[in-house]
Structure 1
Amino acid sequence: MPALHDHAFETVDAPSRAPKSAARGLRINYLEPVGDPGLGGPGSLAWKVFHNPVAKATGGIAAVILELAEPSVRAGVWDHSTFKVDPIQRMRNTAEAAMAVTYGPEKAARMTFERVTRMHERVSGETHEGRPYRAMDPALLTWVHVTAAWGFLQAYIRYADPDLSRADQDRFYREGEIKGKGFGAEWVPTSADEVDAYMATMLPKLYANDTVQEFLKIVGEATPFGRAGQPLQRLITQGGIDLLTDEMRKACGVRVTHPLGRRGVRAAIGALSATARFVARRSGNSPAELACRRMDVSTDCLYPN
């Protein structure tokens, strides 16, 4: 499933050539070819939504909670993922794969789709309840696509652009159709109303289970900064839970347990998000910023209007 799949992307810098990302033989140069907009380009909502690391982190956690609460995706993701063994690398791999299809040139995005599809074709089995599933089931791929898109967009609205119009939300989902189908879905909703209606039909199929709780425990402790970074990681994890609606939290068996409470969690993550935006404006070497250089546009396109 795309949200937790095994992409071994890592950023590398070579003094004699443009910064690239490597993925088991696939090298992505975000600076070339010049003028290639990829699947979205600087005018897309995706370039804005995926640029804020805090929004990506909380939105990603919300998405995975929803995915793991669906029986077939629970088995397909958890039983065929190395998340339990190396969660930090898994989160890094997943984030950088998302960067490839969002900010990379079109050829790199298409190659990413192909690699994911090849991995999906090898994944099948039985759910924890004994029902057969296969990862290439288009219905499951729709669920994974929608949960990811919904989670990232909700996080972006809450922590980056609370005034984002419904029309722009529609545009984000419409833009994402090419990614959903690229990963194997046959149909994906392309408006906020369609997403809301689809999520409502899926809600009765979700259930609380041990895998969701195990995921939250692992992700709450997984940080490259060791114990010193765990309080921040737990805050982000609680922020992901808080993004879910009351009905979603009940169906998935999760709740916000942070001592700060829901309001405190939102305030703290809001401050963290503002800090992340400040730092991002000064980094200059992220995939998003390299893509702006490839398109010869200002990085202003990466921020809310």
Structure 2
Amino acid sequence: MTTLDTPAPADRAARLLDRTLAGPGAGRTNYLEPKGDPGFFGPDSMAWKVHANPIALAIGGVAAVILELAEPRVRSGVWDHSIFRTDPLTRMQRTGEATLITTYGPTKAAQARVDMVTRMHARVSGVTPEGQAYTALEPELMTWVHITAGWGFLNAYRRYVEPGMSLADQDRYHAEGGRLGRAFGAVDPPGSVAEVDAWFDRMRPKLVPHPIIGEFLHIVSTTSPLGLAGRALQPLVVQAAIDLLPRDLVRKLELPANGLGLAAAKPLLRGLALAAGRAPGEVVRQAHARVGRRLA
């Protein structure tokens, strides 16, 4: 039996994952000040709702990276100019931290993180092994990265938290996200599900399988700051991310699939997602307090 003072295992796991996603630098951001500052989105936004769930962020984030690594220019930019291969845990935590700061942080902190990431991207350029020149700030690439992140987070949330989300709310999520996309360099980011789908159709011919995708999936499946429990959970997150992708892209990218294993894991992932919804993380709580909103 679980007492009110002792969280159930699912609640403890969800809270630990939330702290992990926040990253070691999250404590340096003051989410409580200045009072009344809504940040980029504000408490009534879809982003504040969707990004509060660490399970959706974890699954959606892996799905997004698969789609990004399938684009040769993005793949070279990520793999050749980041620490993912040498320090994947820090790289994943930085990504989670950036998502939380740009979503829940006060305006000044969110803009500072955008500026920092943009400065880093400005130094990223090169030529893919196939001979394609690229720069990280190329508008099409920045737009694709913006789209894949939002698509992953939203659809993981729909799959594991709110399957009945209306199309109007899905459109609102994409429309609200346009501000952040433009801040990062996306040009005319899509503002609806239909526009996102059109971008997927545009990019499909450019997405190809590559051994680096398999290397990424292996790293994510075996790397976790949560100890033995995390190492057991990570392969489930990876399979859930693959399952989230459009079927034609799973086949085209030659992604591994474990239908039976995922079928058994889905109840656990849903349980963790619901537990996370019952126990919002500290970042989410502080952001709501900053704007004078009380969480249940």
Q: TM-score, normalised by structure 1?
A: 0.86
Q: 5 Å matches for 1:293-304? A: 293-300=289-296
Q: What residue number does 1:267 align with? A: 267
Tell me the SS of whatever aligns to 1:125: strand
CA distance in 1, matches of 2:270, 2:251: 25
Task: For 2:268, give the aligned amino acid.
Answer: A
The Cα shift of 1:259 comes to 4.8
Q: What residue number does 2:140 align with? A: 139
The Cα shift of 1:21 comes to 3.1
Counterpart contact for 1:66–1:252, Cα < 8 Å: no
Residue identity over aligned pairs, in percent, reads 48
Asked if residue 161 in structure 1 is aligned to residue 147 in structure 2, the reply is: no
Structure 1: stretches of 5+ with no match in the other structure: 1-7, 12-19, 23-27, 301-305
Q: 5 Å matches for 1:1-305? A: 10-11=24-25, 21-22=27-28, 28-257=29-258, 259-260=260-261, 262-278=262-278, 280-281=279-280, 286-300=282-296
Counterpart contact for 1:36–1:294, Cα < 8 Å: yes
Q: What residue number does 1:14 align with? A: none
Tell me the SS of whatever aligns to 1:187: coil
CA distance in 2, matches of 1:182, 1:252: 30
Tell me the SS of whatever aligns to 2:24: strand
Task: For 2:285, give the aligned amino acid.
Answer: E
Task: For 2:65, give the aligned amino acid.
Answer: V
Which protein is richer in helix relative to its size?
2
CA distance in 1, matches of 2:129, 2:61: 24
Tell me the SS of whatever aligns to 1:173: helix
- Per-residue CA distance 1:77-103 (angstroms, 9 max, x = gap): 111111111111211111011111000
The Cα shift of 1:178 comes to 0.5
Deviates more, 1:106-115 or 1:133-142: 106-115
CA distance in 2, matches of 1:41, 1:101: 11
Counterpart contact for 1:138–1:184, Cα < 8 Å: yes
The Cα shift of 1:228 comes to 4.4
Query: Are residues 247 and 222 of structure 1, via their aligned partners in 2, closer, same or farther at CA, if it must alter by over 3 Å?
Result: same
Task: For 1:274, give the aligned amino acid.
Answer: L
Task: For 1:89, give the aligned amino acid.
Answer: T
CA distance in 2, matches of 1:240, 1:63: 8
The Cα shift of 1:227 comes to 4.1
User: How many residues are aligned here?
Assistant: 275
Q: What residue number does 1:17 align with? A: none
Counterpart contact for 1:258–1:265, Cα < 8 Å: no
- Per-residue CA distance 1:252-279 (angstroms, 9 max, x = gap): 221322652x43232231122123333x
Task: For 1:156, give the aligned amino acid.
Answer: Y
CA distance in 2, matches of 1:137, 1:9: 28
Counterpart contact for 1:242–1:255, Cα < 8 Å: no
- Per-residue CA distance 1:111-150 (angstroms, 9 max, x = gap): 1111111111110001121211011101100000000000
Counterpart contact for 1:54–1:273, Cα < 8 Å: yes
Runs of 4+ deviating beyond 4 Å: none
Query: Are residues 254 and 164 of structure 1, via their aligned partners in 2, closer, same or farther at CA, if it must alter by over 3 Å?
Result: same
CA distance in 2, matches of 1:267, 1:128: 42
Structure 2: stretches of 5+ with no match in the other structure: 1-21
CA distance in 1, matches of 2:90, 2:253: 25
Q: What residue number does 1:15 align with? A: none
Q: TM-score, normalised by structure 2?
A: 0.89
CA distance in 2, matches of 1:264, 1:179: 36
Task: For 2:174, give the aligned amino acid.
Answer: Y
The Cα shift of 1:193 comes to 0.7
CA distance in 2, matches of 1:184, 1:154: 23
CA distance in 2, matches of 1:179, 1:128: 31
